[in-house]
Amino acid sequence: MIPVSQPHIGQKEKEYVADAVESGWVSSSGAYIGRFETALQSYLGAPHVLSTSNGTTALHLALLAIGVGPDDEVIIPASSFIATVNAVLYVGATPVFVDIEEHAWGIAPDRIEEKITKKTKAIIAVHLYGYGCHIAHVKEVADAHDLWLIEDNAESIGATWQGTRLGTVGDIGIYSFYGNKIITTGEGGAVSTANGDLFERMSILKNHGRKTNGEYIHEMCGYNYRMTNMQAALGCAQLEQIDDFLAARRHIEELYDGMLGTFFTRQIEYPDTAHVMWLYSGLVPVNVGVDAVRVYLKERGVDTRPLFYPMNKMPYMDPSLRSEEYPMATQLYTRGVTLPTFVGLTDRQIETVCEHLQAVCK
């Protein structure tokens, strides 16, 4: 079976992790944590970076830091990984969904304004599948209404807007280093910000509400959202190779594009943005059922994934939210499929995937 994704773990990763283990610092203290945060800070061009236990906790910390809570509303796209809405629910706030744009799949900026109320406190802009949303327009809306802007950049590390790394345009950016991401720490995440006060608050919140390790004075009710030294060691090795990883993924994208042509509809870039290749995803023709496509490919040894199910339609959502319709987000799920994309995927494997996809979509 050709998998959808798998991490690329080489000798450098093994050496760094072994060094972390041999040092005895295997939990949330150790040299690799600071080293990873500093390297990530340099790569992103961000004044402050904080490692976390995963991308979901990073997003939770971001919302806590800006003071989102009950009676607040947070505007989010209808299509994203479920952690985007769950983090809003964690803090007791109300998610307010906005449909995505048809061709670029980012939150539709011109539909945000109509959803803003006196209770709106923040917008979460999601950069989906390696592509930036229309961050310039979203930021204009946020600034005009004095709203916090959080960038959910879990899937798109390395992508840029006007040469600036996505995740550093808004007030806070969050990142995920899960096993299928562009770089991985196994489980892990990070937040970035230019705001020193937000950084300090998130630093305290992620460490049980205390400022200093080894002292049991807790400033606030906090959380255990810390990355381990072993995870950070893996992250250091991965981050040192990120340019090579992105180049390999771009090669995969170019091969897919060349072989599949236009029948597999891809998302497009917004002006002044440069995407990265996370997972090669697109829409099958309207007359071809995506479920049939996935079954056909699986029977021939090709693993796939559907695109995200509209978050407001999840069974546990409030009925008032479930009744809302977002046509573009729905289309993404009913026609969308993700193809194998990972460093180490061979040209021949890509040819095999394309041959089978073309056959079933004829």
Which amino acid is present at 262?
T
For the chain, the 3-state helix, strand and coil shares in percent, each to the nearest 5, are: 40, 15, 40
d(CA 36, CA 184): 12
d(CA 344, CA 336): 24
d(CA 260, CA 276): 19
Which amino acid is present at 39?
A
| Contact criterion met (CB below 8 Å) for 245 and 8 | yes
Q: Which residue of the set 12, 14, 121, 181 is catalytic? A: 181
Strand order in the sheet with 273-274: 164-165, 160-161, 273-274
| Contact criterion met (CB below 8 Å) for 162 and 183 | no
d(CA 286, CA 197): 49
Q: What is the DSSP annotation of 223-260?
A: -B-PPPHHHHHHHHHHHTTHHHHHHHHHHHHHHHHHHH
Q: Apex CA 339: angle with CA 153 and CA 151, to 5°? A: 10
> Residue 15 — φ and ψ, nearest 5°?
-65, -45
Catalytic residue list contains 139: no
| Contact criterion met (CB below 8 Å) for 172 and 193 | yes
d(CA 9, CA 278): 17
In eight-state DSSP terms, residue 207 is B
Nearest to 147 by CA among 169, 126, 171, 182: 171
Which amino acid is present at 349?
Q
> Residue 17 — φ and ψ, nearest 5°?
-65, -40
Which amino acid is present at 362?
K
Give catalytic residues, as residue numbers: 181
